[in-house]
Structure 1
Amino acid sequence: MGKRKKSSRKPTGPKRREPLDTTFTCLFCHHDNSVTVRMDRKEGVAQLFCKVCDQRYQSKVNHLTEPIDIYSEWIDAADAAEKDATTVSRRPIASSSKAQPAVTFGSDEE
């Protein structure tokens, strides 16, 4: 038994692309489909906001930018802000005097 010839197969149509998401999960309140992105390409600005906790983010856009790109930038900006906040809180507090007193654990006088 042989294979079917390629010429007898009908050509398939173009593959369908699934549309990208336009609503996302909020990083702060964790509600699904609560974050939406509005893009104004004429002004070159995109605004992202959560309907539940009212978190907002704004970014510049170009003709190739999609809503998922703005959401990814928001995630990166939130991670950078959190990392910056943790490094600031962990800095040692500088003392006002530069000389440190000597610590003694007993007296030599008897």
Structure 2
Amino acid sequence: MGKRKKSSRKPAAPKRKDPLDTQFTCLFCHHENSVSVKMEKKEGLAQLSCRICDQRFQSKINHLSEPIDVYSEWIDAADEAEKETLSQRRPAASSSRSRPAAPPSVSDDE
């Protein structure tokens, strides 16, 4: 058996991980980079707050959680709250006034 040829291919460079966002756009006041997430992994809690409109959200986290996960949970919770609000509203009430009576029809017999 013969010797193997050395490959001319260069070894692949390690992939760089792009850092995940830590500042987000507020759902309520729409200011960019105004929402920050403070994570307390030892306590298992994360707190999200907007520095402009002071909206707040708190969530349970685990050792794998990231700020983007908390922001996503906030979006889901806001959507769910909006759906509940819409479902609790009564349908638009119709007018309490009765419809005007149709004008009497005139017959040719008279």
Taking structure 1 as the reference length, the TM-score comes to: 0.75
- The aligned residue for residue 58 of structure 2 is 58
Say which one has the larger Rg.
2
- The aligned residue for residue 16 of structure 2 is 16
TM-superposed deviation, 1:62: 0.5
TM-superposed deviation, 1:81: 0.5
- The aligned residue for residue 35 of structure 2 is 35
TM-superposed deviation, 1:10: 1.5
In the alignment, structure 1 residue 69 sits paired with structure 2 residue 69 = yes
- Structure 2: state its 5+ residue gaps: 94-100, 102-110
TM-superposed deviation, 1:43: 0.7
Aligned length: 90
> What is the identity percentage for the equivalent residue pairs of Structure 1 and Structure 2?
68
- The more displaced of 10-19 and 20-29 is 10-19
Structure 2: which amino acid aligns with 1:61? I
Cα distance in 2, alignment partners of residues 17 and 35 from structure 1: 23
Cα distance in 2, alignment partners of residues 89 and 71 from structure 1: 28
- Structure 1: state its 5+ residue gaps: 94-104, 106-110
Name the Cα RMSD after superposition: 1.9
TM-superposed deviation, 1:12: 2.1
